[in-house]
Amino acid sequence: MRALIGLPLLALAACQVSRDDQNDTISATYNEEVAENAAADVGNFAEEVANDVENTAEDIGNKAENVDVDVDLNTAN
C-alpha cells in the first residue's frame, strides 16, 4: 500500500522540463514510456511483497501444524 503512495512522485519523474534561455521559454513534456515503466516497477514490487507475505503465512501455518502438545492429567494435588 505504501508503494502506491509514491505513484504521483513517479508520474512527476516522467515530466521533463527544459528551459530555452535564448527565447526565454520553458517547456514541459510528459514521457509516457517512463511513466509506464515506473508503474510497472511499482506493480512488480507490490507483487513481490504479496508473494513474500503469502510465503511467510504459509510457513507459519506449516509450523502450527507441526506442534505436538502432551497433556498430563495425572497430577497430584
CB count in 10 Å sphere of residue 10: 16
Among 7-21, 23-37, 43-57, the range scoring the smallest mean pLDDT is: 7-21
The pLDDT score that the predictor gives to residue 16 is 80
The pLDDT score that the predictor gives to residue 5 is 64
List the chain domain ranges.
2-64
Q: Tell whether the model's pLDDT for residue 66 goes beyond 80.
A: no
Strand partners, 30: 15
Give the global pTM: 0.50
CB 3 within 8 A of CB 42: yes
pLDDT band at 69 (very low <50, low <70, confident <90, very high): confident
What three-state secondary structure class fits 59? helix
E-assigned strand segments in 1-77: 15-20, 25-30
